Structure 1
Amino acid sequence: MHKKILIADDEKNMIWAMKKALKNEEYKIITASNGVEAIEKVKTNEPDLVLLDLRMPKKDGMEALKEIKEFNTNVPVIMITAHGTMESAIEAMKIGALDYISKPFDVEELKLQIRKALDIGHMKEQIEFLTEELKDKTGKLIIGNSDKMKEVLAIVNRVAKSPATILITGESGTGKELIANAIHYNSERKNKPYIKVNCGAIPESLLESELFGHEKGAFTGATNRKPGRFERADAGTIFLDEVGELSPATQVKLLRILQEKEIERVGGTELIKVDVRVVSATNRDLKKMVEEGDFREDLYYRLNVIPIELPALRERKEDIPQLIDYFIQRYCKEMRRDKINISDDALEMLVNYNWKGNIRELENVIERLVILSQGNTIYRDDLPREILLQNKETCEFILPKEGINLEEVEKGLIQQALDKMNYNQTKAAQLLGITRHTLIYRMEKYNMK
């Protein structure tokens, strides 16, 4: 794909000269004749580089530079300067410009500066991507200020550097893998292998070979010796997700590793010593499985040396606004969109929703809302039908045993509607599902002003 370059200059001759100089280069050229247009073109065309004149009508280059950098800090900007504006060009570099080029420009120098700027822009994007990936690994993206999440993070902080086995429990979508990542990347083994295994995703016939390896000829298709995940994780950490799905036979072999620190490949006789920290996770009730005979009791206690239980999202509702804000920012950035806001009533409905799929479900909903949003605000009516329906159901009134004063309830609801709509009677009536005349009648009935 050709790199896009935005040239913003009010002099048509300058734009013509630059386009001619870059004619044989594989760039897509976009132009703007003033600062306001330049900002709009940055937002709509997402250029890889901006050449920005310092002196332009409507909004000068310095102001345009500030707004461009607020929108996209990574896009490189080269200022175009005329004689006598050098001080301004240097000032522009202090607030984010990468370089400057003087009028009249040298063609070869212009080409060289453009190539360098595009390389730097690409490097910045790569660095930002790797930084986000590192945050994800180290647990810095574990969002939550609720008491329950503070307790979880305090445990992670205390146990990360210990060699103890850890069992992370919680419903699907609560972030068990993020916690496992944080434990490994904050441990003494952070520079050693970190191997992840989804025990529920690998067929039982292959799981034993995947975990413990196999010798050549151990079974049909075993044409070579293959080390298993535990061998590959030696000196590091292995994360066993969905550990409750292990078969009884595999449970026995896992117990041996935890007790003896050694493995035996499928089809082999040699005992191989391994030094692996085991972090496991499950959305199942292992204690109940032990009682029902579906999970070995001795293995359960070996895995559960340090238990970490993650709360469901509905148990930490105070974290939902922060999570929503994070996901909106993330997906707006991915889609290179302006920041989208969320209305108070939409936010309230999202907070009150049950979130059976927890954070994963919330993330999917926010991603969908950002993709489908046509404006800069997400409103209540934009929310998925299942959220609107559940909120409607949860609003169903249950009559207490001792009874109620119906007039007091009605008066209270009218007052709430008026307060919510800043005493706009038409909107308050719509909110209550009655006509404005009916609202006025009832306000007079209850002597409400």
Structure 2
Amino acid sequence: MSKIRILMVDDEERFRTVTATILGRKGFETLVAENGEQALEKLKESPDVVVLDVRMGTMDGHKTLREIKKTHPHLPVIMLTGHGAMPSAEQALEEGAFDYLAKPCDIDLLAAKIQSAVRSGSPRSKEEKSVREVMVPVENYTSIPVDCTVRDAIEALERERNEFVATDRLMAIGHSSVLVSGKSGELVGIISPRNLIQAIRPAYLTAPKPSMAETLQYSTMFWKGLFNSRAREIMSLSVSEIMSERPPHVDVSANLMEVAERMTCDRCRRVAVMEEGKLIGIIREQDLFYEIAAIISNS
């Protein structure tokens, strides 16, 4: 299956670079242009969708949009700006834009809008997407060995995030979970924000309370500073002590309803995707949410 080709048009170099890199990791092919004139030239490379900044130099986004529609009337264009206002949004939609998003924009939402834009003009728009199309490829995740500490997991995640520092106009939320691998490289668990939050709670809070009246240790008035001290205490723990178990899995040939059923029955927020016994991706609950939203929006 060929990659969706995006034309990213923005006069801010850092934004173009960061966005192109992150979208590339999500499986898109991204062309870049720094102004409207370059964008019109790049149309020769047949992009599937255009992501267009409104406020640029001599040819702003609205003028560029009108020029695009003259020669490529069916090419979907998503307007993206840090200077969003309702009149500008209404103007963009009247001029033929597929959608209008204000910066900062969640990168997952932007990716979902791009998928929706492509499907809106595709003969496959009525077809259901495959598990492979919805999942996050496993190579997009940070992975650490099971014998690492919580500090190691946090540092690995921070290194990856620093590689793709978000600009003030893009929220590159990415994947806040870390995959934990066994000695043979197999997935054995996941460290998520929920695991860290659960781990910092003192043991006495998770143990059965005494049958008599509440003791002072349960009073929140004595908890000041406890959050910081517990966060420092857990950093030396092994990830195996706090991680969630390996999520349930489906085969890559499964359909999305199978994934929804697995998440519901197993009360999990992620499902591993396997192909010939090998982990190739993770489907998160937000991935299904954005797919549901896209289907409803296009109906």
**What TM-score comes out, normalization by structure 1 length?**
0.27
The structure, 1 or 2, with the larger RCO (C-alpha pairs under 8 Å, 6+ apart) is 2
Q: So what's the TM-score if we normalise by structure 2?
A: 0.39
Give the structure with the larger strand fraction: 2
Quick check: which one's helix share is greater? Answer: 1
Larger CA Rg, structure 1 vs 2? 1
